[in-house]
Amino acid sequence: MAEAAPLVSIPSAPVPAGGEAAWFEGAGGARLRAALFPAAGTPRGSVVLSGGRTEPIEKYFEVIEELRARGFTVLAHDWRGQGLSQRLLPDRLKGHAAGFKDFVADFAALIAAYEARLPKPWIAMGHSMGGCLTFLALALGQKGFSGAVLSAPMLGLQTGPVPRPLGKVLATTLTSAGRGGGSVQGRATSPIATPFEDNVLTHDRARYDRNQAQVEACPDLALGGPTWGWLDFAFKAIAVLEVGPGVPKLDIPVTVVAAGADKLVDVAGQRRVTARAPKGHFVEIPGAYHEILQETDDIRAVFWREFDALAAAVAPALAPTGA
């Protein structure tokens, strides 16, 4: 029996009904957190939900409720180095990574730990870094999924005033020199320091405030800026999807929903990688900020339209009794 893990509940984001969190063992014995949420009614399938960089399970309680209402069992998890999963550096605010292989192995371990409790068919859902890693796991041979829907996946990075080629060189050089644990932005600070007016994640104040309140309620959920090691991991993971042999061999539908006003990941990169997938489908939402699933209702509705279309194809809703 897996050891129970906590889930953080606040008035504006209570734990979805029936949700249970537990610890599981990832690559190298890392102690990682996952949570399973049963479908509302008879399940039509399962969704494996992977958040982006900095994002804990709790941030997706609203999304989990929406998936449960659609008839899906939901498995959500904290990637290594964030949420309540094992952090990788003594300074827990530093968003660090040491290559992508451990992440992919962690995803495989997650599926192995829960597959007996996940009704088929399975749909993979991931946001940003989680979308990149989900795509990567599938491209590298993760089996069992019937489709994937990715929100603003990290398939290209925006590097601000630093030219992207220079950013790659700096990340690789510093990481190779043993300085990968240094913060790209000089110092890792908690994300709750950013006021809504200065944020580049969402236009929705209520959802932004709710997400901030979760971190204030449990400061251990907080994660600051990335390290050079994380940046090196990101560039290398993206490269595998851009030029590696796995994406063209995928035989499942993959829908990528891009944020038209994204200031963190590169929409052109998303378009290029999606085009490599035989059953890739690309949709851009004009004006949307990066966190599509935390955005205003009209923006979120576009994502759900695309999710529902893929779900109808691979996991048709059950007919009502007596129909």
* 231-265 confidence digits (pLDDT tens): 999 999 999 999 999 999 999 999 999 999 999 99
Lowest-pLDDT range of 12-16, 190-194, 220-224, 319-323: 319-323
Local structure of 199: helix, strand or coil: coil
Q: What architecture is the 4-314 domain classified under in CATH? A: 3-Layer(aba) Sandwich (3.40)
Lowest-pLDDT range of 1-5, 117-121, 238-242, 303-307: 1-5
Distance CA 93, CA 220 (A): 9
Q: What is the pLDDT of residue 323?
A: 41
Distance CA 286, CA 279 (A): 23
Q: What is the mean pLDDT of residues 203-218?
A: 97
Lowest-pLDDT range of 140-149, 186-195, 221-230: 186-195
> In the structure, what pLDDT confidence band is assigned to residue 163 with cuts at 50, 70 and 90?
confident
Q: What is the mean pLDDT of residues 23-30?
A: 98
Q: What is the mean pLDDT of residues 194-210?
A: 95
* Mean of per-residue pLDDT scores for the chain: 95
Two structure tokens written together for 291: 């966190």
DSSP result, 200-230: SS-S-HHHHHHHHHHHHH-GGG---PBBHHH
Q: What is the pLDDT of residue 189?
A: 60
CB 4, CB 89: distance < 8 Å: no
> In the structure, what pLDDT confidence band is assigned to residue 20 with cuts at 50, 70 and 90?
very high
Q: What is the pLDDT of residue 112?
A: 98
CB 95, CB 53: distance < 8 Å: yes
Q: What is the mean pLDDT of residues 196-221?
A: 96
- Report CA torsion sign: 131, 101, 266, 206: positive
Q: How confident is the model over 266-283, as pLDDT tens digits?
A: 999 999 999 999 999 999
Chain Cα centroid distance, residue 77: 9
Residue 227 has pLDDT above 70, yes or no: yes
Q: How confident is the model over 79-120, as pLDDT tens digits?
A: 999 999 999 999 999 999 999 999 999 999 999 999 999 999
Cis peptide upstream of residue 219 (ω within 30 degrees of 0): no
Q: What is the pLDDT of residue 161?
A: 82
CB 32, CB 81: distance < 8 Å: no
DSSP state, 297? H
Q: What is the pLDDT of residue 159?
A: 85
Q: What is the pLDDT of residue 194?
A: 84
Lowest-pLDDT range of 1-10, 40-49, 181-190: 181-190
- Produce one character per residue of 104-117: b if its CB has 16 or more CB atoms within 10 Å, e if not: bbbbbbbbebbeee
